[in-house]
Chains A and B, each alone.
Chain A
């Protein structure tokens, strides 16, 4: 099972700043099948990024993903008030999936 470790646990920033979230895998993620989700309190997760760097439909270009192998990054430029939420990375395969423990992006 691939274990995903996200850092930092909490990130405190102000609107307009840039957020950089990290996701490190315990072993190489096949075909870079790495996704990022945003989750707000009381809501289901929303898919942001797939295959490490492909934005999902309707996701603003302020959100970008990068990385390969075991190290992946979600970057959010020009933070908007609605961006403050929990973020999870996920590795997915034909035989299952695992999630990271999450990063909380909070308003400073």
Chain B
């Protein structure tokens, strides 16, 4: 069964304290792994797509990496405005996205 698990469920960081969010998956025929950011009361906003193991993508303080079993979203020197829920999703060969339950990140000044 295709499955996506995100950890931790919630993460509290001090401003400037770097950390990583994890997305582990089991899927038949991975055709892409996606990271989204979701602010309270808003729709998810696209961040990254990764297609193959070893691929990395960066945007400001965020870097996403991919292995054959999991993806990490590294947050370097986070700021309070990085506070949000981060969602991971995978596209299997059925072409229907499967979403994880998200990691709620809070960054305190």
- Are A and B co-members of a single complex? no
Interface residues of A, Cβ cutoff 8 Å to B: none
Interface residues of B, Cβ cutoff 8 Å to A: none
